[in-house]
A and B are shown apart, each in its own frame.
Chain A
Amino acid sequence: MITLVRVDNRLIHGQVVEAWLPHLKVSRVVVADDEAASSPLIRAAMALAVQSAIEVQILPLAQVDFAALSKDGVRTLVLLRDVTSVPFAFQHGLVMDQLNLGNVHFGTGRRQVSPSVFLAEGELQALQQLSEQGVRVEARAVPAEKSVDLPDLTERWSKAG
């Protein structure tokens, strides 16, 4: 079962290891990312950071069986590097009621919508489509932070133009 889907361009890092994993009490972390999966070094370094009781899978996006992850009884955190991967996962069987935006860094054409999230117009539209399909979208770096939901993100995006 999917406990949380998080977009974070740092994938597994301090906030995930120290804040989200204890908070979510998941038994499995799935990193769906071509770049991370292609490097044995990155895979080893990321897996090392997570306590051994938690299973870590680091796979190319297209190789993840999202439907199976969604169906079994193992509490799972899914990590994606960018917003553009989310619709792909969603179309390939990922069942989620909540999408968390953690760290989406600044880039050309991106506007700031929270202290740690910058979105391009296409990304915002993709998020709106997910929201119409029943996914609650929020920006929140760590569990203790106040979450910012999509209507507020959209408003901030417009104002930042």
Chain B
Amino acid sequence: MVGLVIASHGRLADELVSTAEQIVGKLPAVATCSIEPGGPVEDLRAKMKQAVKAVDEGDGVIIMADLFGGTPCKESLMMCQRMNLEVLAGVNLPMLLKANSLRSEQMALSEMANQLASYGQRNITCASALLREAQQPRT
């Protein structure tokens, strides 16, 4: 199974996982790491290495960071030079739920990462506009 690491500033990573588990139940092979205000980058680096190791079952790991260009994302990119890793930035709840379910399908790690990025984007919608469309009588 592909391992998942959610990396964020502050408590976002932990809370995102806890919210996802409220919706679909316990997520296997998922770890979180975060950087706190004023925390040294070295701490985050060590935590990220640990997190990746904890969820790596031999099929590779996808790190989902909160923000492109932020420290968790940058540190992840440093690691992906040396390991079977893909890094996504801009993690959201739909993307995390999809990552969990996609793991049961056979596909290359890079393909899974690409699919997740577009799925995350597709699931950002103007819901109120969709509702207005749905309520329009069909002509």
Interface size class of B (residues with CB under 8 A): 10 to 19
Determine if B78 is an interface residue (Cβ-Cβ < 8 Å): no
Q: Mark A32-62, 1 if CB is under 8 A from B, else 0.
A: 0000000011001101100000000000000
Query: In the bound complex, how far is the Cα of B23 from the Cα of A143, in angstroms?
Result: 10
Interface members, chain B 54-89 (any A CB < 8 Å): none
Which of B23, B101, B131 is close to A142, meaning CB atoms less than 8 Å apart? B23
Determine if A9 is an interface residue (Cβ-Cβ < 8 Å): no
Residues of A within 8 A of B46 (CB): none
Which of A18, A45, A48, A143 is close to B97, meaning CB atoms less than 8 Å apart? A18
Determine if A131 is an interface residue (Cβ-Cβ < 8 Å): no
Query: In the bound complex, how far is the Cα of B24 from the Cα of A142, in angstroms?
Result: 6
Assess whether A19 is in contact with B131, with CB atoms less than 8 Å apart: no
CB distance from A12 to the nearest CB of B (A): 13
Which of A22, A44, A141, A144 is close to B131, meaning CB atoms less than 8 Å apart? A44
Residues of B within 8 A of A47 (CB): 134
Query: In the bound complex, how far is the Cα of B137 from the Cα of A81, in angstroms?
Result: 28
Assess whether B24 is in contact with A18, with CB atoms less than 8 Å apart: yes
Given known A-B contacts A18-B97, A22-B101, A48 and B23 have beta carbons under 8 A apart: no
Interface size class of A (residues with CB under 8 A): 10 to 19
Determine if A145 is an interface residue (Cβ-Cβ < 8 Å): yes
CB distance from B138 to the nearest CB of A (A): 13
Assess whether A14 is in contact with B135, with CB atoms less than 8 Å apart: no
Determine if B124 is an interface residue (Cβ-Cβ < 8 Å): no
Main secondary structure of the interface of B (DSSP, over half): helix
Determine if B26 is an interface residue (Cβ-Cβ < 8 Å): yes
Assess whether A145 is in contact with B25, with CB atoms less than 8 Å apart: yes
Query: In the bound complex, how far is the Cα of B135 from the Cα of A142, in angstroms?
Result: 30
Query: In the bound complex, how far is the Cα of B24 from the Cα of A19, in angstroms?
Result: 5
CB distance from B122 to the nearest CB of A (A): 12
- Give the residue name and chain of the B residue nearest to A145 (CB): B25
Assess whether A14 is in contact with B23, with CB atoms less than 8 Å apart: yes
Assess whether A19 is in contact with B130, with CB atoms less than 8 Å apart: no
Query: In the bound complex, how far is the Cα of B96 from the Cα of A18, in angstroms?
Result: 11
Determine if A98 is an interface residue (Cβ-Cβ < 8 Å): no
Q: Mark A118-161, 1 if CB is under 8 A from B, else 0.
A: 00000000000000000000000111110000000000000000
CB distance from B128 to the nearest CB of A (A): 10
Assess whether A144 is in contact with B134, with CB atoms less than 8 Å apart: no
Residues of B within 8 A of A70 (CB): none
Determine if A27 is an interface residue (Cβ-Cβ < 8 Å): no
- Give the residue name and chain of the B residue nearest to A142 (CB): B25
* Subset of 5 A-B contacts with CB under 8 Å: A18-B23, A19-B25, A45-B131, A48-B131, A143-B25
Going nearest first, the 7 A-B pairs with the smallest beta carbon separation are A144-B25, A142-B25, A19-B24, A14-B23, A44-B134, A44-B135, A145-B25
